[in-house]
A and B are shown apart, each in its own frame.
Chain A
Amino acid sequence: MIGRHHWVVRVTHWVNAIALTLMVGSGLRIFNAYPAFARKGDTFCCYPWEHKAIPDALTFGGWLGGARHWHFALMWVLVINGLVYLTFIYLHGEWRDIVPRRGDARDALAMIKFYLFVTKSHPRQGKHNAMQKATYFALPVLAIAQVLTGLAIWKPVQLGWITALFGGYVWARYWHFMTMVALIVLSFVHIFMVFAVDPYSLQSMITGGYREDLSPEARNARPFYHLLPRWRNRAAQGD
């Protein structure tokens, strides 16, 4: 058992998971008050589901005013938590595990080939494989974009320069929505892959401990292949 995630990373991960879920729920509740992007008297090019509300079950906050209160309260949790995380991985050097570097594209291609059964052996990797790295790098980048687009539609006059940066209020609102979609998609891919490839990593995000001998590389694991501990030490054989 080795220590894999520092307690700061673990705590901020779960605070983020909950805050993000509630931000999505309250955001969708707010969206439902006007589930469209077109300026009144105008049309909008790029959203085919104008005026179709999101099912209430996926929303949070009860009503528009309530959801706004939750959204504007939790945004501070999200931002402060995110700053703690980013400051920590910067000071602690963990940023090296997620910031892309030359060769990542080649490594990602190798992973895809392995997952598609083109190659037999799990590529060598560090803490994360190249596609994981890209995901864990993209998530904070998207989160920052989400904060900025959020500011742009919260204060379109007092922070009008941010709104202008995103192409005005209508587009800023659209990018705030689309960035949320991207965050949801990546989060679901992440959760799916945890259970399909490396369920043992769940423990490392709770207690911090991780068994290297059960890593996907050690099990030569693809999604839903070689999930059980008995497949450990299969890396070398490549089966």
Chain B
Amino acid sequence: MDRRRFLSASGFSLTAAFLAACNIDRSPRAQRLLDLAEHRNEGVERSLYRHASMNRAKDTAKIAGDAFPSYFVSNTVPVWDERVRGPWALEVSGLVQAPRRFSLADLRKLPFRSQRVDHFCVEGWNAVAVWQGVRLSDVARVVGVKPEAGYVDFQSFDDDYHESWDIESAMHPQTIVAYAMDNHMLGMAHGAPARVHSPVKLGYKNTKYLTKIVFLPQRNGGYWSDQGYEWYGGV
């Protein structure tokens, strides 16, 4: 890069920064730059991603227990009412050979997985818990996911909450459909009867009150991603 181009490039970034500083941080032009940066960052994050990178909570870290924060987007705690909705089942569909509905008993027949991991929230806090359930990759093997499935959408009965993921993160060995936490069946505040839990994604990507897992050829946004948080949300 010659001097003239360097100067004009720096002049441009200086100007962009000054505009930003003058509270035009919501201008469409700034937004386009930020979108570009998010797109590039997703590329960087996906190239850093390894199946072998594991989340292990420090041995000295306390289990959060009751201090583990919980939230939902409905007005009241979402509770699956069998009298109204019938027995709960997890529907796995989309780009799969054999779509299937898993009852809780069906899920419990799959290999049990228990992991003591750090949960990272987008807000900056972290919390240690033991998450227990079945690997999503085991569920995927049962239904036979087709190779063209590049994305997965996790949907819930907590209003319209859902989050779609890249297939790589979904198939991470620590990505599980959790039905228990800290050796107890999942509580209402934490997404009973089952939720996605993966310590390779930020908390908001982990759909609670799970009803459907849909394998897709393209991404399908998400509850928080559509409101402006990063879609990728990997850690």
Contacts and interface: CB of A to CB of B under 8 A. Distances in A.
Given A18-B17, A157-B199, A69 B34 contact: yes
A18 B21 contact: yes
Given A33-B123, A156-B120, A157-B54, A41 B14 contact: no
Nearest to B65: A41
A188 interface: no
Question: Interface size class for chain A?
Answer: 35 or more
Chain A contact surface mostly: helix
A65 B229 contact: yes
Contact of B55 (A31, A41, A157): A157
A155 interface: yes
A160 to B, nearest CB: 6
B128 A39 contact: yes
Nearest to A153: B124
A173 B17 CA distance: 25
A14 B14 contact: yes
A68 B37 contact: no
A193 interface: no
B50 interface: yes
A76 B38 CA distance: 11
Contacts of A8: 6
Interface in A31-47: 31, 33-34, 36, 39-42
A236 interface: no
A11 B6 contact: yes
A74 B19 CA distance: 14
B118 to A, nearest CB: 6
Interface stretch (A56-64, A102-110, A195-203): A56-64
A92 to B, nearest CB: 14
A221 interface: no
A141 B98 CA distance: 56
A8 B38 CA distance: 28
Contacts of A68: 122, 229-230
A157 B54 CA distance: 6
A225 interface: no
A73 B34 contact: yes
Contact of A40 (B26, B126, B229): B126
Interface string A171-192: 0010000000000000000000
Contact of B37 (A33, A73, A159): A73
B49 A70 contact: no
Given A69-B37, A73-B34, A157-B200, A22 B21 contact: yes
Contacts of B128: 39-41
A89 B112 CA distance: 57
A72 B58 contact: no
Interface string B56-90: 10100111111111000000000000000000000
Contacts of A41: 62-68, 127-128
Nearest to A80: B13
B235 A39 contact: no
B166 to A, nearest CB: 13
Interface in B185-235: 199-200, 224, 227-230, 234-235
A42 B61 CA distance: 8
Nearest to A159: B48
Interface in B11-43: 13-14, 17-18, 20-21, 25-26, 33-34, 37-38, 40-41
Contact of B53 (A14, A22, A73, A158): A158
Contacts of B120: 156, 169
B104 interface: no
Interface in A18-35: 18-19, 21-22, 30-31, 33-34
11 contacts: A14-B14, A15-B14, A36-B125, A39-B128, A40-B67, A68-B122, A72-B230, A158-B53, A160-B54, A168-B58, A169-B118
Given A62-B26, A69-B38, 10 more contacts: A22-B21, A33-B123, A36-B125, A41-B127, A42-B61, A60-B20, A70-B25, A72-B41, A73-B38, A157-B235
Report, nearest first, the 8 A-B pairs whose CB atoms are least far apart. Answer: A73-B37, A41-B67, A41-B64, A40-B127, A33-B123, A34-B124, A18-B17, A40-B64
